[in-house]
Amino acid sequence: MNLSYLFDAAHWDPTLSGGIPQLILSHLGYVALALLIGTVIALPAGLYIGHTGRGSFLAINAGNAGRSLPTLGLLMLMVTLLGLGLTPVLIALSVLVIPPVLTSAYAGMRSLDQRVVDAARGMGMRPWQVLTRVELPMALPVLMSGFRSAALQVVATATVAAAVGLSGLGRLLIDGLAVNDYSRVLAGAIVVAVLAVGLDLLLALVQRWVVSPGLNPSPKGPS
């Protein structure tokens, strides 16, 4: 296993254009934008469907549709329609985000203990107060699991940006394959994998911070 490219200090120079640090920043930029766009679209829709029960078929089938959609094929279609640039990449990546966020928001809302929700209404809370102060905090564990799943998918798939001439860690894969430099390809694969694991661990810490301890499943003790 040739790791010479990965451990070459010259490739880790943060001032070097095309160096690994700058590629990581570009990659994370695509991920952050796609997560933001997809969440803004999917989260309100999922909360509404889960809260009202209307359009539940959309939330139930969205997950299967998202898993079967070929991201590279969608990206090529968007490039054909819109031309090269950042927009086709963001559309393709945002489509990956929508199904897990939508389905987790719906599932989180439908899994709530209705007795608690009814008690909140009985205390005189307005509908928006019930949603923001009771339903949404109780649904956070499921919501966060969907968001973490979406983040992992996008981190792994954002390498397709290099296929249309953009930056990001996909450059290591595309450029490495173009010149048969498999050390560079291996370096790209390792950095993407480490980045995905690191982001998931970070989101797990965020989940522990934002979710009430009483809502986080505790590990079972010995029987």
pLDDT at 182: 92
Label residue 128 by pLDDT band (50, 70, 90).
confident
Query: Mean pLDDT across the stretch 133-153?
Result: 87
The phi and psi torsions of 77 (rounded to 5 degrees) equal -65, -45
Whole-angstrom Cα distance, residue 182 to residue 160? 18
- What pLDDT score was predicted for residue 223? 36
* Distance from C-alpha of 134 to C-alpha of 148, rounded to nearest angstrom: 22
Does residue 195 surpass a pLDDT of 80?
yes
Mean pLDDT of the chain: 85
Mean pLDDT along residues 88-106: 91
Length of the chain: 223
- d(C-alpha 107, C-alpha 51), whole Å: 10
User: Do residues 104 and 145 make contact, with C-beta atoms less than 8 angstroms apart?
Assistant: yes
DSSP output for 31-72: HHHHHHHHHHHHHHHHHHHHHH-TTHHHHHHHHHHHHHS-HH
Terminal-residue alpha carbon distance, the chain: 45
Rounded distance between C-alpha atoms, residue 73 and residue 187, angstroms: 25
Q: Look at residues 93, 80, 76, 77 and name the one whose alpha carbon lies nearest to residue 41.
A: 93
pLDDT at 214: 60
Structure tokens at 175: 């450029």
**Cβ pair 121, 65 in contact under 8 A:** no
202 alpha carbon, distance to own chain's centre: 13
Mean pLDDT of all residues in 101-124: 81
* Confidence grade of residue 197 (pLDDT, cut at 50, 70, 90): very high
Q: pLDDT higher for 175 or 131?
A: 175
Which residues in 84-207 belong to E strands, given as ranges? none
How does residue 222 score in pLDDT terms, banded at 50, 70 and 90?
Answer: very low
Residue 64 has pLDDT above 70, yes or no: no
Residue range 4-9+18-212, CATH number = 1.10.3720.10
**Beta-carbon neighbour count of residue 215 at 10 Å?**
12
Higher pLDDT, 18 or 162: 162
Q: Quick one: what percent of the chain has pLDDT higher than 90?
A: 42
Residues 11-53 pLDDT 10s: 999 888 889 999 999 999 999 999 999 999 999 988 888 877 7
Quick one: average pLDDT of 114-141? 78
pLDDT tens digits for range 71-80: 888 888 888 8
- Taking the C-alpha atoms of residue 199 and residue 110, their distance in angstroms, rounded to an integer, is 28
Continuous segment of H or E residues that includes residue 20? helix 20-52
pTM: 0.85
Give the model's pLDDT for residue 101: 92
